[in-house]
């Protein structure tokens, strides 16, 4: 079945907490920056999904998923959208 949004956010939060401290801090900083970029969507046309589409291939794609990044884009978009909750 499909996980509810609260469950997905909880799982993402738990996953990020397992990162080494330097990786955790870097990811938090980057996601908060991308969230700020997305907040200017009216000017730059870069919402969370568009940013995730651009950054997913570099940040989280594996070689076998380079042709279909749908899940990675969804996950990164969710991380950007909910970064304040995930890193609370």
Instruction: Answer for the pair 29, 87: CB distance below 8 angstroms, yes or no.
Output: no
- Show the tokens assigned to 88: 């609370």
Hey, what long-range contacts does 33-36 have (CB within 8 A, 24 or more apart)?
A: 34/80, 34/83, 35/80, 35/81, 35/83, 35/84
Query: Domain range for residue 50?
Result: 5-86
Q: How many domains does the chain have?
A: 1
Between 83 and 63, residue with greater pLDDT: 83
Domain containing 56 — which CATH number? Answer: 1.10.555.10
**pLDDT single digits (tens) 26-37:** 999 999 999 999
Q: What is the pTM of this model?
A: 0.87
């Amino acid at each position: 079945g499909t996980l509810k949004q609260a469950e997905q956010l909880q799982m993402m939060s738990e996953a990020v907490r397992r990162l080494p401290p330097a990786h955790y801090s870097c990811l938090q900083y980057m996601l908060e920056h991308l969230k700020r970029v997305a907040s200017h969507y009216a000017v730059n046309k870069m919402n969370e999904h568009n940013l995730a589409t651009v950054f997913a291939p570099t940040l989280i794609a594996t070689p076998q998923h380079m042709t279909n990044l749908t899940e990675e884009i969804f996950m990164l978009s969710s991380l950007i959208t909910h970064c304040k909750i995930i890193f609370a």
